[in-house]
Amino acid sequence: MLKIYLARHGQDEDNAAGILNGRRDKPLTEAGLRQTQESGQKAKEVGLRFDKVYASPLGRTRRTAKIIAEITNSPEPEVLDDLIERDFGIMTGQPHSKIVEMCSPHILKSDNINYFLKPEGAETFPELLERADRVLAEIREKHFDGNILLVTHSDFGKMIYTAYYKLNWEEVLRMFHFGNAELLELSEESGPEDVRVFEIKQHRM
């Protein structure tokens, strides 16, 4: 059976400062490194080893993937460009507090985050969903079974989850928060309500 695991990178400097990073490439904070080590350790404790590890090309995901791979005795991560975070367009580098001001009325509010839907230059969620379908097709073509780890980002990770279970993307954005260094399991054995392998203490979004 093929099991696809999704991990979000640990906290980076933009996360800690409340900045919308998108494709900005800030390093992990000390808290982010601790989260990532905790994630790897928890994966190891539940008996997880990954047959293949893929990471977004951004530094925060590559560092996260390398740490988890080392702790779980998994192969060296390989970069998969399509795992990169959503392009935030004009919202890149803006504080979270500016979302309502700059993006209304085209926003979607959840318990934890206000999502901007179509600011200038940004990828839309339907576009992300198309990219997520492409990633899943590539993984299924390369791997028929085993544990495959994809280390990615919050918005795009949720769209991979959406594509896997063929859900409505707006509903998924409101369903749960994909926290730093958390791990989700997408498989025939885990329904859409049961994907979280474990939670990691969060410091900021």
Q: In the numeric block, which tokens belong to residue 124?
A: 């839309």
Tens digits of residue pLDDT in 51-101: 999 999 999 999 999 999 999 999 999 999 999 999 999 999 999 999 999
The reply to whether 96 falls in a domain is no
Q: 204 falls in which pLDDT band (50, 70, 90)?
A: low
Cis peptide before 105 (omega within 30 of 0): yes
- β-strand pairing of 146-152 with 2-8: parallel
- CB-count exposure of residue 110 (10 Å: 0-12, 13-18, 19+): middle
CATH of the domain at 186: 3.40.50.1240
Domain contains 92: no
Domain membership of residue 97 (yes or no) is no
Question: How many domains does the chain divide into?
Answer: 1
* 55 part of a folded domain: yes
Check if the beta carbon of residue 123 is closer than 8 Å to that of residue 155.
no
Has residue 117 been placed in a domain? no
Q: Tell me whether residue 148 is exposed, middle or buried, using C-beta atoms within 10 angstroms of its C-beta: 0 to 12, 13 to 18, 19 or more.
A: buried
Per-residue pLDDT for 205 more than 60?
Answer: no
Above 80 in pLDDT, residue 153? yes
Give the range of the structural domain holding residue 57, as residue numbers without chain letter: 2-87+123-198
What is the residue-averaged pLDDT of the chain?
A: 95
CA dist 185 and 129 (Å) reads: 18
Residue with tokens 């025939």: 188
Task: Let me know if residue 178 belongs to a domain.
Answer: yes
Does the pTM of the predicted model rise above 0.85?
A: yes
What phi and psi values does residue 38 have, to the nearest 5 degrees?
A: -65, -40
**Helix, strand, coil distribution of the chain in percent, nearest 5:** 40, 20, 40
115 within some domain: no
Residue 174 in domain: yes
